[in-house]
Amino acid sequence: MKSLLLTLLFVGVTTLSFSQEVKKDEDKKSTIEATPEVNFGVRGGINISNLDFDPNPTFANKHRIGFAFGAFVDYGITGTFSILAELQYSAEGADAKTLRADYIQLPILFRFSLGEFFKIGAGPMVSLKTWEFEDGFSTFIFSGVAGIEYMITDELFIDARVHYGFTNILDKDLTMTKAKFTTIQFGFGLKI
C-alpha cells in the first residue's frame, strides 16, 4: 500500500514540476525553453487472461474474456521517449467463477517512438484486488507489462499489451498451489 501511495505521489509531483520558462537573453530577445509534452487521456480494452498453475491443474483451465478501462498521463521527456502512468480497472483470471479476480492496476510504461505513428513500451505494474475478502487471492500482485501503440489521429489510438505476473496470485496461507496471470489486452484510447 505504501509503494502505491508513493508512486501516486511521485506522479503528482512530477506533473506539477514540469513548466515552461520564458527567459530574456542579453540582447533582450525572449526565448522559450522546451517543455516536456504532457498528455492526459482515457483508455478501454478487452482482456484475454488465464492463470499459469504450478503444479498443472487437474481441471479445465480456460481463458477469461474480460474488460479494462482507465485514465492515463503520458509525460514526454524527449521527442522520442515518454513515461506513461495509468490507473485502470481490469477483469482478469480464468473462465471458472472461482478463478476470476478483478484489479485496480497501476502500469508504468517507459515508451519509445518508432516514427510518427508507433510507440513501444515496457515497465512494471502493481495491482490491488477488488474482489471478496478471503477469496483465496492475494491482495497485491506485481507484474511486468509490454505493449505497442498505433496513433490513428493526433488524439485516437489503438494498442496491444501483454501482462505477465511475477508474483503468486493465490493466498499462500490457503494453498500450496502457485498461479500467475498472463493477460493479453487489446485497447483503444483518446488523448484529451
CB neighbour class for 36 (10 Å; exposed up to 12, middle 13-18, buried from 19) = middle
Which sequence spans correspond to the domains of the chain? 37-191
pLDDT digits (tens, 9 = 90+) for 36-82: 789 999 999 999 998 878 777 667 778 889 999 999 999 999 989 99
The predicted-structure confidence for 105-153, as pLDDT tens digits, reads as follows 999 999 999 999 999 999 999 999 887 666 778 889 999 999 999 999 9
Name the CATH architecture for the domain at 37-191. Beta Barrel (2.40)
Average pLDDT, stretch 18-37?
53
- Give the pTM: 0.75
